Amino acid sequence: MHSYTIAELILAGFTEHYQRFQSITKQTGHAFSQQDWSRIQQISKSRISHYDQRVEETVDRLKASLPCTKLNEPLWYQIKKDYLELLSFHPQAELAETFYNSVFCRLFHRRYFNNDFIFVETTLKDAPALPVEAEYRSYFPVVSGLKPTIKQIIKQIDFKCDFQNLNRDIKLLMKAFIRQAPDTHHRSHMMRFDILQAPFYRNKGAYIIGRVVSKSGIQPFIISVLHHAKGGLYIDALLTNSSQMRVIFGFARAYFMVETHAPSALVRFLNQLMPNKTPAELYNAIGFHKQGKTEFYREFLYHLENSQDQFTIAPGTPGMVMMVFTLENFPYVFKVIKDKFSESKPFGRDTVLARYQLVKNHDRVGRMADTIEYSDVVIPKSRIAPELLTQLRNTISESLLEEGDMLVIKHLYIERRMTPLNLYLHNASPEQTEIVMMDYGNAIKEMLQANIFPGDMLLKNFGVSKHLRVIFYDYDEVQYLTDMNFRDMPKTNLSDLYSGIDEHSAAPQDVFPEQLCTFVLTNPTLRSIFEKAHPELLSASYWQQAQLDVKNKVVKHIFPYPQEQRFIHLDKTIKERREH
C-alpha cells in the first residue's frame, strides 16, 4: 500500500472519531433541555471510551492491509510526511497528530517512539494558529443598547427551552457585574462582548463563557444557567473572579461537554481568560483527555530538558497499594501500583486498575482528582534520587525495566500534587483547621450524592488544593455507594455476652459510620469540629438515605462556585427558587 494511502486511512479514522465524538456531545443540549440527567451522565461516560475504540478500528484496518509485525522505517517516515501534509489546513490538526501517535504506538514497539516516526513534539508550533474568532462571536452594545445586547447573546445561545423571567435575570446580571467588576461599568459605546458560541454543559448546569473588552482592559466571566423547579431556565450566578473560574475548570471535576470545530482556538480563548491554566488542563476540561495527555507529556519532557531537580519520595504517609513519588519543581505526583499489598488490602492489581477506571468514567463532583494514565514512561536514572531508586526496585520491580541509564516504568498514574490533609493540619491555624475539616465533611457528602463510597476515609487519603478545597485522591478502596451496607453499631448487653451471639460481626460490604470518629478523627479538636459541622455523617440513616436518593435517580446539583455568588442572595424576590 502506498504511503499516502496509509496516511489517508489513518486520517479517515481520526475524522470518523471526531465526527462521532461531536455527534455524541451534541446530544447534551437536548438532554439538558429535557432535564435528562442520567442521559448526560451516559454521554459523558461514553465519550471517555470512544477514542480507544476508534483507534482499535483503525489499527485493525491497517493490519488487514499491510504487514505490521516489523517496522518498515523508510515507509513510515514517508507516511508521517504525507500525514503532515494532509494536516496543513486541518481545523483539528493537533488532535489528528495525537490520533496518529496512538495508532502507531499500538502497532509497534516503544523503541520506535521517537520524533522520526511519531509527533513527540508537535510539528504545528510554527504553523499559523487558527484564529480564536473561529469559536466566539462579538457583540456591540453601541448598536442596540446594553440590555437588548445581553438578551440577544442569551437568546442566540440556544438552550432549547425558555427562560422563566429573562428580563429579571438580565437586571440581576448587570447588578452583579457592577458589584463584582466595577471597572467594566462603561457606557454602551465603550465596550464589546466576546462570547463563545457554544454553551458548556456539565451535570445539571449550563455555562455561557466570554469576556468584556473595554478601555479598562479585558474582564473574563462565566454565567451559570440552571433549570427552575417550577419550569423554565434562570441565570443562577455570575463568576468574574479568576480563582473561581479556575475552580470551575478544575482537575477534580467531570469534563465539560461543548461543541467545537476548532479545539485549539477554543483552548487559546480559554487560556486568555485563565492564563494560569495549561493547555493540557484546558484540553482535559473540555473532554479531549487524550490531547490533554499529549500536551502534559510535552510539558513533562520540556521540564526534564530544562531543569535539574530530582524525583523524590512524595511527602505524606506511605501508601499500602501505591508507590508515590514527585519532582520538586513540577506540580504533579507519580503513582505506581506496588508488587505486593499490605495484608489489610484483600484485593489485587486488577481491582486497583478497575477502581481507578471507575473514577475516570464517573462524575467526580469536584472532589476526586483526575488521573492521567501512561505506559512505558522512560526516566533518566540520573534524575532519580538514590533513596527513591532503591525503594522503586524494592516495591515496584514488576513494573520496572532498567535499560542502561534509563528506567522504564511500564504503567503509572499522574495526578496534580496537593498537600495531604493530615500534613496540612500539622501547621494549620485554628481558622484553617476549621475550614478544611468542614470541607472534608462536604467532600464526603458530595461524593455520596454521586454514588461514590470513598472506602478508606483516613485524612492521609485527601489533599488540600491551593484553593483550600479538600479533594480525595486514593481510589484503591472506592466502590459504588449503593453496593455497601450501612449499619448502626449494635448495643451490647450482658445477655449477649452470655449467649455467645456476635452482633458485631461484619460482612465485607458492611460499614459502621459511627466509627468514622473512632478510627479517623482520633484528635479531639478535629473530632469536635467534625461532630459540630457534620453530625449526620455519623449516623447510618444518613448514608442509607443517600443510597435511596441514588437508587431513585435523585440527581442533586453540586455548585462549583460559592453559594454567595448565587443571585438568590442579590434579590429577595427570588429567594423561593429551589433546584431539583
Catalytic positions: 370
Q: End-to-end distance of the chain based on CA atoms, in angstroms?
A: 58
Query: 392 and 398 in contact (C-beta within 8 Å)?
Result: no
* CA-wise closest residue to 261 among 205, 193, 210, 197: 197
C-alpha cell at 469: 478545597
335 annotated to bind ligand: yes
Give the amino acid at 397.
S
Lookup: cell for 225: 444557567
| Residues paired with 325 in a beta bridge | 313, 334
198 annotated as a binding-site residue: no
Q: Tell me: is residue 315 an annotated ligand-binding position.
A: yes
Q: Is 544 in contact with 551 (CB distance < 8 Å)?
A: no
> Is 80 annotated for ligand binding?
no
C-alpha distances (whole Å) from 515 to each of 422, 465, 529 are: 18, 27, 16
Phi, psi of 234 (to 5 degrees): -150, 155
What is the spatial distance between Cα 74 and Cα 119, in angstroms, rounded to a whole number?
16
Look up cell 476526586; give the residue. 368
216/154 Cα distance (integer angstroms): 24
Cell numbers at 413, concatenated: 498514574
Burial degree of 460 (CB within 10 A; 0-12, 13-18, 19+) = middle
Q: Is 331 annotated as a binding residue?
A: no
| Cα atoms in the 13 Å half-sphere on the side-chain side of 140 | 3
Question: What cell numbers appear for 549 in the block?
Answer: 436518593
Quote the CA–CA distance of 555 and 365 in Å, as a whole number.
12
426 φ/ψ sector (left φ>0, alpha ψ -120 to 50, else beta): alpha
What CA–CA distance (Å, rounded) separates 552 from 542?
Answer: 15
Which residues contact residue 473 at a Cβ distance below 8 angstroms, ignoring those fewer than 6 apart? 368, 369, 415, 418, 461, 462, 463
What span, in angstroms and rounded, lies between the C-alpha atoms of 578 and 367? 23
In degrees, to the nearest 5, what angle opens at C-alpha 523 toward C-alphas 520 and 526? Answer: 85
> Residue 67, annotated ligand binder?
no
Measured CA to CA in angstroms, residue 348 lies from 317, 376, 477 at distances of 21, 21, 11
Sign of torsion over alpha carbons 98, 104, 105, 111: negative
- According to the annotation, is 390 in a ligand binding site? no
Is residue 463 within 8 A of residue 415, CB to CB? The reply is no
210 is in an annotated binding site: no
Strand 406-416 and strand 322-327: the pairing is unpaired
Residues annotated in a binding site for ATP: 314-320, 335
Residues annotated in a binding site: 314-320, 335
